[in-house]
Amino acid sequence: MSNTPRSGSTRLPGGTPPGGSAGPGTGQQPYDSARLVKQVRNRWRRAKTSPQPSLDALAAYDERSERLRLVDALPNRQVSDADRKYMLRLIKITLLLCVVFQRFALPLGGFPISVPLVAMYVFLVLARLRGGVRYNRVRSELFIASAGLVMLATFFAGLTPGSSVSVNSVLLLLIIYIPWVFCISSQFRDLFVPVARFYTQIMLVASVVGIFQLASQYAGVWVYQDFILNVVPENFLLQNYNVSYQLAWNDPTTKANAFVFLEPSFLCQFLAVALVVALLIRAPAWQPALLGMGMAATLSGTGIILLVLCVALMVVVAPNRIRPAYVLAGVVGLAIVFATPAADILLDRRNETSQEGSSGYIRFVQPYTEVADGLREEATRLFVGAGPGSADRLLTSFRSGGDAVVYTIAPKLAFEYGLIAMVVFVAFLVVAVYRGPPIPVLPTGILFMIFFLSGSLLQPHTLALAWLLTSLWGPPVTVGVSDALAAMVRRNKDAGAQA
């Protein structure tokens, strides 16, 4: 394999030479994406006599060098302005559906199908018709390996006397993550900026609605009502979520959820992601300030934790994103929040992780202690788990009717499918997210959200957002583990022949 690019100049992911204008059929963009998008090579060729990559080329597959991130065995097809507008519009509609319609479901017998999950698959079909998405070989191989281990663990767990395997659970697990093996075609990667801007705009509207919800209750001019529940039949809505969350049994004040979010904590996390995106794309200072006040209106702490982590990372790896206007806007926003009753409620939640039964404790501590105890009960669970859906039946909190513990991705995978399947599946998710958008900090923030905050192993709305903002924007790498093994076998044969 030769590492010589077909053209003599380095190109941006959209196929535009740095400092040059867009060529015929690529479309002229009204924004400058070069400041956010890394300049990487996007075309590599193999010698005709060597259809498989050499070991030297595979050794160059390094996370920092980015040298083979855009390996493409076939030349990129030319795209027109209509193609670019189509893809941008399609991504925006899918993103809007995944955020605004997360409470809605399509009833399929007794098993409701989340609208965001349907939207992901419709997007893939429509985008594929225009060549907008391509599969990623590395992710495909990791997903196939993890899916095989999950199915194998499910089979052996079903052989255990007294076990009860949830087929729906394992099928839903595989269906949710199949889209993660696909990436947007390299010609459309620079559309990330307008998509990120559109997501920020969606959450600005949600923030205004959330602020109105809480402020009007404290002002005594409105009593919380779930208008969606009053209009939409229950079988078209997802159940078992705390949509209307009162502060206390004797306090009718309800946390803001902007009506369309399944829980106030989800609104807080989505707003935190939008705030981080706003900082990264250098949005006007009033937008992060408004998003921050919307977070305070949810009276939830998970988004605040996510925001603190991302801002700390930004200070270290991307300090140029923090403008003085953002600091001033943050100070003004905090001053406004501390002038409201919401400040005392948020401050009272600082030590929740050490208080048993609190939201922080059942989210950050109890899942790991209970899973560790459950794995120790039977040695076989370390390797094959207790079976899909078993966390809800076997762990202490559910058996005793106690706290609704949030079993996040890693502990739930470990308990239901064993440690081996958990490690491979987590590796698949980490690779998919980190080899995603050409922008810093955001992948780490998204990973932290889905791994620790939202309990989202089988929650399509949070996983759809994570995919649309990170994993989808990865390069369609066509060199995988199988290529490495084939190259190794071929080298050994050549060495044997020469000997």
Q: How many CB atoms lie within 10 A of CB 344?
A: 9
Long-range CB pairs of 398-405, under 8 A, 24+ apart, other chains included? 403/357, 403/362, 403/366, 404/362, 405/362, 405/366, 405/367, 405/370
With beta carbons less than 8 A apart as the criterion, state whether 190 and 197 touch. Answer: no
**25 pLDDT exceeds 50?**
no
Most confident of 19-33, 58-72, 221-235, 477-491: 221-235
Q: Binning pLDDT at 50, 70 and 90, where does residue 478 land?
A: low
**255 pLDDT exceeds 70?**
yes
Q: Mean pLDDT of all residues in the chain? A: 80
* CA distance linking residue 322 with residue 307, whole number of Å: 13
Cα 22 to chain centroid, rounded: 31
Selected residue with higher pLDDT from 492 and 466: 466
* CA distance linking residue 243 with residue 256, whole number of Å: 9
* CA distance linking residue 373 with residue 58, whole number of Å: 42
Predicted pLDDT at 4: 43
Predicted pLDDT at 248: 72
* CA distance linking residue 198 with residue 209, whole number of Å: 17
Tokens of residue 432, six digits: 């998919």
To 10 degrees, the CA torsion angle through 268, 450, 135, 121?
-60
Selected residue with higher pLDDT from 153 and 57: 153
Predicted pLDDT at 44: 40
Predicted pLDDT at 60: 44
Give the residue-averaged pLDDT of 227-234.
92
Q: Report domain extents, the chain.
A: 137-183+351-473, 193-342
Selected residue with higher pLDDT from 323 and 13: 323
With beta carbons less than 8 A apart as the criterion, state whether 103 and 459 touch. Answer: no
Predicted pLDDT at 125: 96
* CA distance linking residue 300 with residue 187, whole number of Å: 39
**350 pLDDT exceeds 80?**
no
**100 pLDDT exceeds 90?**
yes
Predicted pLDDT at 253: 87
- Give the tens place of pLDDT for each residue, 172-197: 999 999 999 999 998 899 899 999 99
- Give the tens place of pLDDT for each residue, 322-342: 889 999 988 888 888 777 776
* CA distance linking residue 275 with residue 260, whole number of Å: 19
Residue 217, H or E segment: helix 192-219
Q: Determine the straight-line distance between the first and last CA of the chain, rounded to whole angstroms.
A: 23
Predicted pLDDT at 256: 93
Give the residue-averaged pLDDT of 460-464.
95
Predicted pLDDT at 121: 97
Tokens of residue 194, six digits: 């307008």
Predicted pLDDT at 65: 35
- Residue 254 identity: T
With beta carbons less than 8 A apart as the criterion, state whether 90 and 123 touch. Answer: yes
Selected residue with higher pLDDT from 487 and 191: 191
Predicted pLDDT at 58: 38
Residue written as token pair 């949070």: 462
- Residue 388 identity: P
Tokens of residue 385, six digits: 């788990």
With beta carbons less than 8 A apart as the criterion, state whether 387 and 164 touch. Answer: yes
Residue 365, H or E segment: none
Predicted pLDDT at 351: 59
Predicted pLDDT at 55: 40
- Please tell me the pTM assigned to this model: 0.81
Give the residue-averaged pLDDT of 263-287.
95
* CA distance linking residue 491 with residue 59, whole number of Å: 14
Predicted pLDDT at 68: 37
Predicted pLDDT at 415: 92
Give the residue-averaged pLDDT of 435-451.
91
- Give the tens place of pLDDT for each residue, 371-430: 888 888 888 889 988 888 887 766 655 544 555 677 889 999 999 999 999 999 999 999
Predicted pLDDT at 262: 93
* CA distance linking residue 372 with residue 365, whole number of Å: 11
- The least confident of 57-66, 232-241, 377-386, 466-475 is 57-66
**30 pLDDT exceeds 80?**
no
Residues shown for the chain: 499
* CA distance linking residue 96 with residue 114, whole number of Å: 14
- Give the tens place of pLDDT for each residue, 101-127: 999 999 887 778 999 999 999 999 999
Give the residue-averaged pLDDT of 245-252.
78
Q: How many CB atoms lie within 10 A of CB 265?
A: 25
* CA distance linking residue 253 with residue 268, whole number of Å: 17
With beta carbons less than 8 A apart as the criterion, state whether 15 and 26 touch. Answer: yes
Tokens of residue 441, six digits: 């900090």
**43 pLDDT exceeds 60?**
no
Predicted pLDDT at 213: 95
- Residues with Cβ < 8 Å from 276, sequence gap 6 or more? 306, 307, 310, 311, 314, 441, 442, 445
- Give the tens place of pLDDT for each residue, 278-316: 999 999 999 999 999 999 999 888 899 999 999 999 999
